[in-house]
Structure 1
């Protein structure tokens, strides 16, 4: 998982306004907490958090933390796979962001189960905005990750399409995961909270919007 520490002014800035920087950071922490909880329930040989910033009490046990490298998101994603490949070059690695609190652990566990991994080289999770929320590689390594990710325009409506083109150019058999919305705008936040109403993220958003109604 790749993430930023939920510090006001540094995370989820597209939520401000209507949120304050503090409220946006609270939502980021809630999303981070929920996403970590989901991923902690997915069977895995190791769990790696590639973090920009300091660890907080939101981190559950069982996770190894390494710092993000400098550079753009493309470089940071590639470096994350390179690190996973150095730890366990023959083990598959799935990289997920911090803002998908509505993920389904059972769905991920099924898609990545040994029975369904046979013959699959990569996993691609499309986001609703044209990007991607997950990328998995059956044999992660620095060279492949750099070819797939370096120079790929990020945060555009064509990011996912560009990544799929690169996966195809490498001749990788790619399994598609379901489309999942990540949290960028307040509209995204409301939709995601509705998909996972019992989570910490939904409760945090409800409290923020309830307080806004009272003060407004």
Structure 2
């Protein structure tokens, strides 16, 4: 279950991966095909393991606390087995009050940020669950930028127009308002919202998320970024299974 406010965290940055329980037919559906629903759920579980493991790796070099921002309520037992040990939980099902212009996935992201900040952290980041190979140094950089004096946001854009990370020191709801989620305008709209409220926005180098057949092929071929051992193990099993199928 989600933790309550914790003392001694004022100089730390929380990083929470947006986590849904891996379920066949409900996880990574845009990867089907080439994957089957069962294979997509297996890969989704590996992504969660590697992403939370990556956050904990970053915590060795910067004052970072790892979270899984999960949904729906009551899914804790379905999510926890797929997380790296040492990952805390925060609910992010969009159930808490939010401005009318904050809709859909934006409500979940805002709730995750508010929940992590409520634990007493000085800053909080929401992180995509589709970036198993994100270089650890970008997580470290995010935390260090946010823990420096002054208010700011940190944004890491994806190649497809979304973003893989958004970090804040305050829960600026406007950054999640009037956004067409799951489109190629998400990062651009977030930049526009930051300009509207006069919030300094620091951008990290872009990375790619894995949410379609083309990016899955890129992941399989790439050997850059975080090692992602759980993901690599699943990809190897899938490759072996494919080779075993008669032409």
Describe how 1:1-80 pairs up with structure 2 within 5 A: 1-43=17-59, 44-52=63-71, 53=75, 54-70=78-94, 72-80=104-112
The equivalent position to 1:121 in structure 2, one of 149, 152, 155, is 152
The equivalent position to 2:209 in structure 1, one of 175, 182, 188, is 182
User: Which stretches of structure 1, 4 residues or more, deviate above 6 A after TM superposition?
Assistant: none
- Listed as ranges, the gaps of 5+ residues in structure 2 are 1-16, 96-103
Give the drift of 1:115.
Answer: 9.4
Give the drift of 1:180.
Answer: 0.9
The equivalent position to 2:190 in structure 1, one of 163, 166, 170, is 163
Normalising by the residue count of structure 1, what TM-score does the alignment of the two structures yield? Answer: 0.88
Comparing 111-120 with 38-47, which one deviates more in the overlay? 111-120
Residues 57-111 of structure 1, C-alpha deviation per residue, up to 9 Å, x if partnerless?
Answer: 222222221332247211101111111222226x011110211111122332134
Match for residue 137 of structure 2? 106
Aligned Cα RMSD in Å? Answer: 2.2
Match for residue 117 of structure 2? 85
Cα distance in 1, alignment partners of residues 142 and 114 from structure 2? 23
- Listed as ranges, the gaps of 5+ residues in structure 1 are none
Give the drift of 1:204.
Answer: 1.3
Q: Secondary structure at the match of 2:167?
A: strand
Distance 1:81 1:114, change over 3 A: closer
